[in-house]
Amino acid sequence: MEFPNEDDDYHNVFSYSKVRRFDLGRYRKDEASAGMVFDKIGVVRLFCDIHEHMRGAILVLTTPHFVVTRPDGSFKLSDLPAGQFKLKVWIDEKPP
């Protein structure tokens, strides 16, 4: 995964998450960020040391069967194989 900077300001994407710790260092719009591989299951919390309001999360899964809810909270899982499964819901800041 890459973290392009599309602003005129410097950015620095980093994470102290146990799943994947990294610090890309400061880079500008015209500079490429280093690519990251996320090969452990879990949540990777992202931050920018320059802009406190810039943060995010990456949920690393081992399944292709996932979906993001719509603004109204509804969702639809498509193309599931036959069988019975457990549905797990992840809400940021809460356990699954």
pTM score, whole prediction? 0.79
- 48-83 pLDDT, tens digit each: 988 889 899 999 999 999 999 999 989 999 989 999
Bridge partners of residue 43, in order along the sequence? 59
Cα dist from 29 to 15, 32, 33, 62, 96, whole Å: 20, 8, 9, 32, 36
- Tell me which amino acid residue 58 is: I
- In tens, the pLDDT along 2-60 reads 898 888 888 899 999 999 999 999 999 888 888 899 999 999 999 998 888 989 999 99
CATH of domain 1-63+80-96: 2.60.40.420
Token code pair at residue 94:
């809460």
Complete edge-to-edge strand list for the sheet that includes strand 22-23: 22-23, 13-15, 42-48, 55-60
pLDDT at 32: 84
